Every structure is written in C-alpha cells, then in structure tokens.
Amino acid sequence: MGSLNEKPNRFEEGDNVSAVVPVTTTSQPPPLLELEAVFEPLGLEVLGRSLEARLDEMLRRLNEHDYLATLVLAESILLAVQGHGLAVVCRNEALGALAPLLDNPVTRISVPDASEALTPDTLALLGRCDGRTKAAMMFGSGVARVRALRALHDLIRLGMVRVGRAPSAA
C-alpha cells in the first residue's frame, strides 16, 4: 500500500481502511447560506455508481460540507448495505448539520425557465413546496427518500426554493 504519509486517490478492494470523520463540536450547525454556497450538481448517474465510488463521493462531499449530498449518498449506500458503518456515521453527521433545514418549511421562490432541465423527481418536489410543509415531511422511505433528497439538493442549488418560515406580514 505505501507509507502512511501517502494518501490513495481511492481505496482498493481488500484494503483495510479506518476512517475518522470530524464531528462539529459547536452547538450551532453551519449556517444554511454556507450550505447553499458549496453545492455542486448531484446527478442521478452518481446514485448508479458502484458502492466504492459512492463511498468516495460521500466522503468528498462531507469534506466539502455539502451535507445534503452526503445524506443522499449515505442513504443510497444504506439501501445497498444495511448498517454500513461509515455510511451511518456520515448520515448522522449530515443529519446533525441539516437539522435546521429539515425542520423548516420549504417555499417555492422561482419557476423553472426550462422544465425539461429538471428531473421529474425535482419537478414533483417543487410542486410540494408550499411554505407550510417541513422539509423532513416531504420524504418517503427507501429509494423514494433518496430521490426526493436528491431533488431537494437540486432545488436548493438552483435557488428555486427557500427554507424557513416566511416573514409574517405586519
């Protein structure tokens, strides 16, 4: 494998790997604006990659603080391998950081310019963003949950929704 100072680009089958995932020690998760700023696209094709490729991508996204993508990838891995240790740790880290997002309603703030640019999952979720329903209540279970979380990732990245209570009219 090499010396301890060398970092492999990815781990090979049969490698014994131990991972330490940094845990935020502050009581406040990163602000939502920071989360939105680091999003890069998370295409459906990523979810069809091998388990190892999804693990690599999950760790990369966690390292970049893209907690929503981390959650999507961790959930997809857990569908394939129930109780996968690293996926559980990453899912829990992402859920902790995303608590303010998931516990607030999602409001549609813009209409897509070209509907064909959005996946059917993303369009369906956009239609459910009514400003009253909490994000956490918009997800089913299993594959439907993974697809809805990925759709939310798209909507936030594209600036089509706002998370949080609407300002009350005075």
Q: Domains of the chain: which residue ranges? A: 33-159
**Structural contact between residues 42 and 155, judged by C-beta atoms closer than 8 angstroms:** no
Q: What percent of the chain is predicted at pLDDT more than 70?
A: 71
- The owner of tokens 């997800």 is 139
What's the rounded Cα separation, in Å, for the pair 85 and 169? 47
Reading the block at residue 148, the tokens are: 């809805």
Beta bridge partners of 162: 107
- pTM (2 d.p.): 0.75
Average pLDDT for 84-102: 96
Reading the block at residue 79, the tokens are: 């569908």
Residue type, 89: V
pLDDT at 94 > cutoff 60:
yes
pLDDT single digits (tens) 30-70: 444 455 455 789 999 999 999 999 999 999 999 999 999 99
Three state DSSP letters for the chain:
CCCCCCCCCCCCCCCCCCCCCCCCCCCCCCCHHHHHHCCCCCCHHHHCCCHHHHHHHHHHHHHCCCHHHHHHHHHHHHHHCCCCHHHHHHHHHHHHHHHHHHCCEEEECCCCCCHHHCCHHHHHHHHHCEEEEEHHHHCCCHHHHHHHHHHHHHHHHCCCEEECCCCCCC
